[in-house]
Amino acid sequence: LDRPRALSGIQPTAGSFHLGNYLGAVRQYVALQETHDAFYMVVDLHAITVPQNPMELRANTRIAAAQLLAAGLDPERCTLFIQSHVPEHAQLAWVMNCLTGFGEASRMTQFKDKSAKQGADRTTVGLFTYPILQVADILLYQADSVPVGEDQRQHVELTRDIAERFNGTYGQTFKIPSAHIVRETAKIYDLQDPTAKMSKSASTTKGLINLLDEPKVSAKKIKSAVTDTDTVIRFDPEHKPGVSNLLTIYSTLTGTGIAELEEKYQGKGYGALKTDLAEVMVEWVTPFRARTQEYLDDPETLDAILAKGAEKARAVAAETLAQAYDKVGF
Ligand code: ADP
Ligand code: NA
């Protein structure tokens, strides 16, 4: 196998993935398993950097894995695992902590945003070093490519810097990875505030589509999406963010080009677009939920898939860690 290697992780925090997670990240995971030697993990170590509940974490980690399988990850064609099942992540992270400057880590914008929201006293050192754990996550697999959303670009840059530093200090050990960001679907916006990114941490869930919600709830959210006072259905993110977001969602869910959709809805109103998209959404999400539930109803199968995934991941991770520890002088 000489296919390029891809590595990506997704948080189990919210239970259900939202439409932005799916269209911005998970869909790419499914595509990349055809062209890459792809490793995907549910990052439960990252999930405890903020206040958490053990029972919810355990349940949500399984729900995340079930959704990845339901979305089309095939354990025969990729390696799917839970981060905490592979202890090498934490072991390599320590070395990477010792190679990262305090000032360098302090410049990570995601940390600054999250810690500003929480306040200094509630911010953990774990949250501060989270990007450095991500460095270890990526380098352990000698990944060529890291499929992420635009918001993660800075962390991939940090990974490249630290990998070069390690190689420069201790001799060639790590491959230098690059971010794989898909432009067209890079960002899905909130249905009620189409200038803000759809996010689980939005102040209200009215504009957020959770994939595991009742399909009729999602249909209703699409039908009440904020658009504009114009009537033309045209892709113009700057002047028509709401309509453009609906077109992006429609196009990516069905594989129909934006231009084709603009033509289809020429002379029709926003109501027609929303009604059709609501139907597309229900048709897509109904079997997705059913497949997710099937995995959750069969814990033995899910456990076996995840155990096999962890075994495949560890085979690679342990080899890299042994090389790195040897170079460091352990
Ligand atoms: P959130 O931003 O809701 O907290 P995460 O940070 O857990 O979600 O994101 C998991 C993955 O989904 C990341 O790769 C991220 O880039 C992607 N993602 C999150 N929100 C969106 C969005 N609105 N549009 C596109 N991709 C997104
Ligand atoms: Na994010």
What's the confidence (pLDDT) of residue 184?
Answer: 62
Reduce the secondary structure of 253-275 to three states and give it as a string: HHCCCHHHHHHHCCCCCHHHHHH
For residue 171, pLDDT beyond 80: yes
Taking residues 144-168, report their average pLDDT: 93
Pairing of strands 178-180, 37-42: unpaired
For residue 261, pLDDT beyond 90: yes
> Which of the residues 200, 206, 223, 312 is marked catalytic?
200
For residue 286, pLDDT beyond 90: yes
Closest CA to 82 of 70, 63, 65: 65
- Which residue do the tokens 């981060």 mark? 83
| Rounded Cα gap, residues 149 and 106, in angstroms | 21
Tell me what percent of the residues of the chain surpass a pLDDT of 70: 98
Tell me what percent of the residues of the chain surpass a pLDDT of 90: 88
**Is pTM, for the whole model, over 0.90?**
yes
Q: Residue of the nearest CA to atom 16 in ligand 1?
A: 149
| Rounded Cα gap, residues 201 and 198, in angstroms | 9
Least confident of 19-33, 265-279, 296-310: 19-33
The burial of 150, by beta-carbon neighbours within 10 Å (0-12 exposed, 13-18 middle, 19 or more buried), is given as middle
- Catalytic residue list contains 112: no
- pLDDT grade, residue 1 (50/70/90)? low
Q: Which ligand is nearest to the CA of 201?
A: 1
Ligand 1 proximity of 187 Cβ (cutoff 6 Å): yes
Ligand 1 proximity of 25 Cβ (cutoff 6 Å): yes
Residue 151 CA to ligand 1 centre (angstroms): 8
Which atom of ligand 1 is nearest the CA belonging to 147? 14
For residue 65, pLDDT beyond 70: yes
Computed over every residue of the chain, the mean pLDDT equals: 95
| Rounded Cα gap, residues 144 and 37, in angstroms | 10
> Which of the residues 187, 197, 264, 308 is marked catalytic?
197
Taking residues 169-184, report their average pLDDT: 90
Contact assessment for residue 46 and residue 83, using Cβ atoms and an 8 Å cutoff: yes
Q: Tell me which of 227 and 180 has the higher pLDDT.
A: 227
Closest CA to 78 of 165, 157, 3, 138: 3
Q: Which ipTM value was assigned to this complex?
A: 0.94
Which atom of ligand 1 is nearest the CA belonging to 197? 23
| Rounded Cα gap, residues 329 and 260, in angstroms | 60
- Catalytic residue list contains 200: yes
- Which residue do the tokens 């990729």 mark? 78
Ligand 1 proximity of 11 Cβ (cutoff 6 Å): yes
Q: Please give the sequence-ordered ranges of beta strands (E in DSSP) within 166-321, or none if there are none.
A: 178-180
In order, the DSSP letters of 170-183 are: H-S-----EEE--S
Q: Which ligand is nearest to the CA of 21?
A: 1
Which atom of ligand 1 is nearest the CA belonging to 13? 7
Residue 259 CA to ligand 1 centre (angstroms): 26
Closest CA to 261 of 235, 282, 280, 241: 235
For residue 159, pLDDT beyond 90: yes
Cα dihedral across residues 83, 86, 91, 92: positive or negative: negative
What is the phi-psi region of residue 173: left when phi exceeds 0, alpha when psi lies from -120 to 50, beta otherwise? alpha
Which of 10, 21, 150, 208 to mutate to test ligand 1, by most ligand atoms within 8 A of the CB atom? 21
What's the confidence (pLDDT) of residue 7?
Answer: 96
Ligand 1 proximity of 152 Cβ (cutoff 6 Å): yes
Note the pLDDT tens digit of each residue in 193-236.
999 999 988 888 999 999 999 999 999 999 999 999 999 999 99
Contact assessment for residue 163 and residue 146, using Cβ atoms and an 8 Å cutoff: no
What's the confidence (pLDDT) of residue 76?
Answer: 97
**Tell me, what amino acid is at 32?**
L
Considering only CA atoms, give the Rg of the chain. Answer: 21
Contacts of 323 (CB under 8 A, 6+ apart): 173
Q: Residue of the nearest CA to atom 15 in ligand 1?
A: 149
- Catalytic residue list contains 312: no
Q: Which ligand is nearest to the CA of 209?
A: 1
